[in-house]
Structure 1
Amino acid sequence: MAGFNGIIGHEQIIEHLRNAIQLKKVSHAYILDGEEGAGKKMLAAAFAQTLQCEEGGTEPCGHCHSCKQAESGNQPDIIYVSHEKPNSIGVEEIREQLCGDILIRPYSSPWKIYIVDEAEKMTVQAQNALLKTIEEPPAYGIILLLTTNADAFLPTILSRCVTLRLRPVRDALIRDYLMEQLHVPDYQADVCTAFARGNVGRARKLAESEQFTELKDHVVHLMRHIDDMEISEITDAVRRVTEYKTEIEDYLDLIMLWYRDVLLFKATQKIDGLVFSDEINYISARAKKSSYEGLETIIKALEKAKVRLKANVNFELTMELLLLTIKEN
């Protein structure tokens, strides 16, 4: 655990939390709202470790007893609320692990901090039980609710918490992180960064996924050669695409990124900013072949294919129509 300094992006949230610590204006309840993989757990852990650090600064020292306990997951006054059912957090779990436990003073720290991950899964009864604690918390109590959907909370919960919404992280920061920290090659980092849409956790997951690399390679091979394919080869290609049926949205998004590159290169004649920059020869050839109207037709066909597949239209027919549209334009 590297404290706030080890977190990629989210500068405004980090500044808010550091200021709260420095000015001694820490709230008793926070909501960290952001999509899965956005960094909520890292922010909550860094905040909790900093608050409990014996040095009393705005960044955990990393070497005091409390910091070492936090890094090993054994700090007794940083409590992670768990739940047995995958889709709900029940009232008894909140009462036993939080509402009842918070009445016991901290063991060795100035604060007693509760981190509730997937907090949107709390039942209405669980939220009502938590509300009583949030309304009258002990002076040492801090509750951090991590969620992908703050709208799932009761208005009374929302009104009594400080809500911090995680925004997408800049692509340049994610790309640098993948290349410098994970040693991902630049061409792979470009694709993962574009695909992650500002989500560091998702970018890392994609970079480490052999399945995603295989999917990308398949799409690139198809895009390289589709112009030269006969109709029978298109039909064979559709059969191979069925192997990726469960990941078809990612598959179509990769094709969309390819044609976004084609369109960008056609307009600028520059390699800068291309996701598939290592495929410049094929990108350039396609840009020369296709008109702006043709590229617009392909992009619309991709969007239409997504809609059809979500509506459970025949998979093979949808993909065959799409690939034929790409070949003809």
Structure 2
Amino acid sequence: MFEKIQGHQTITDHLEKEIQSSEVSHAYLFSGIDGIGKKKTAREFAKALLCQDQHDKGCGHCPVCTQIDHENYPDVKIIGPKAGEASIKISQVREMISELSIKPYSGNWRINIIDGAERMTPEAQNSLLKSLEEPLSYNIFILITSHPQTILPTIRSRCQSYHFQPLSIVDMEAIILREAEFDRITVAEAIRASGGSPGMALYLLNNSEIQKERTHYLRELYSLLKGDEIKVFTLAEALSKDKATSQEILEFFIHWFYEINLLLEGHPLPDHGEPNPAHRAYHQLLQNEKNQAIIKTLFEMMATIQYNVNLRLQWEKCFIKIMKIQKG
């Protein structure tokens, strides 16, 4: 059970105990950075609950496990933003809710996974709330999110929460080298840039231009912090062209300033990684209190862009606020 999950032993041990003691909760919140293994754990949890093998739960070989892996088992419903859409609409949640009264096809559970739960519109979240307040005995909800603070407190309070921590270098290497063949130096660089997310490390390894793009945005943002007001508008223009890229860079900025926060407080980087020249430049430029205010501003931006807003305008407001923070 959960043999395929690497690096989240505490969480999988808790989930296994719940299954063995028949004390499974009706709702879970899996939080942590993107690409860290939350969805994979949710899928393995579903397999462990529904597997046909009585001796090896979550065997991965029976028809049920195979269908769950291919996301076509009738008792496991997974929803997320549709292709080309930035949010999970109320119509998707209502469709899921309409099926909750249908008893399980073969097992004891219906498992409803919301992948990217922070992207539910306010209407979708409110629609979900009643089902969490009055759950049918055979329904389990698993909300997967990288930004739990954007989910309604009333929803969070009804879920058993598990926070997935960034993985160690050893666990990251094991996962990446199992998935594909790359030289160790390239892997080490991708791991260093990924913030403990094997999914992100693999993404960077397969898309080398992404790292160049991130370096470019760090240089531009550094110039803004140094007082170059033109960067407010050029950065906002560049980041407003594509919402998915905009959100990806925003998440990268948040992670970056968290790393700077560690350095400012005298702590090592995750897994004792060595600061690169960009880390040192930002470290010399920023003060701890201002850095924390910038992180807060970026989180506010993350909450804002979940909705249908003018991206360019919102980025301009965000960068103006960051510049004011730095000027003090």
**TM-score normalised by the shorter chain: which range applies?**
0.5 to 0.7
2:64 and 2:208 map into 1 onto residues whose CA distance is: 38
After TM superposition, which residue ranges in structure 1, 4 or more long, deviate above 6 angstroms? 213-216, 245-250, 273-276
CA root-mean-square deviation: 3.8
SS in 2 for 1:198: coil
Distance 1:275 1:172, change over 3 A: farther
Asked whether the 8 Å contact 2:80–2:117 carries over to 1, the reply is no
Q: 2:50 aligns with which of 45, 52, 56?
A: 52
- 1:202 has 2:200 as partner: yes
1:13 and 1:57 map into 2 onto residues whose CA distance is: 21
- 1:137 has 2:118 as partner: no
Q: 2:122 aligns with which of 107, 116, 124?
A: 124
Structure 2 equivalent of residue 21 of structure 1: 19
1:211 and 1:67 map into 2 onto residues whose CA distance is: 36
Q: 1:300 aligns with which of 260, 267, 281?
A: 281
- 1:43 has 2:24 as partner: no
SS in 2 for 1:4: coil
- Cα deviation digits, residues 258-292 of structure 1 (max 9, x gap): xx9xxxxxxxxxxxx8879xxxxxx9xxxxxxxxx
2:116 and 2:273 map into 1 onto residues whose CA distance is: 36
Distance 1:57 1:44, change over 3 A: farther
Which of 1 and 2 has greater Rg?
A: 1
- Cα deviation digits, residues 230-260 of structure 1 (max 9, x gap): xxxxxxxxxxxxxxx989999xx8xx9xxx9
- 1:66 has 2:47 as partner: no
Structure 2 equivalent of residue 172 of structure 1: 170
Distance 1:68 1:161, change over 3 A: same
Question: Which amino acid in 2 is paired with 1:184?
Answer: F
Query: Where does structure 1 lack aligned partners over 5 or more consecutive residues?
Result: 219-244, 261-272, 277-282, 284-294, 313-329
Query: Where does structure 2 lack aligned partners over 5 or more consecutive residues?
Result: 217-237, 240-244, 264-271, 295-317, 321-328
Distance 1:185 1:133, change over 3 A: same
Distance 1:274 1:78, change over 3 A: closer
Report how far residue 61 of structure 1 moved. 1.2
Alignment of 1:101-112 (within 5 A): 101-112=99-110
Question: Which amino acid in 2 is paired with 1:300?
Answer: A
- Cα deviation digits, residues 200-252 of structure 1 (max 9, x gap): 11111122223257789x9xxxxxxxxxxxxxxxxxxxxxxxxxx989999xx
Report how far residue 304 of structure 1 moved. 4.2
Q: Determine what percentage of the aligned residue pairs are the same residue.
A: 31
Structure 2 equivalent of residue 96 of structure 1: 95
Distance 1:274 1:151, change over 3 A: closer
TM-score (norm 1): 0.64
Structure 1 equivalent of residue 232 of structure 2: none
Distance 1:303 1:184, change over 3 A: farther
Alignment of 1:149-188 (within 5 A): 149-188=147-186
Figure out how many residues of one structure are paired with residues of the other and give that number.
248
2:181 and 2:187 map into 1 onto residues whose CA distance is: 9
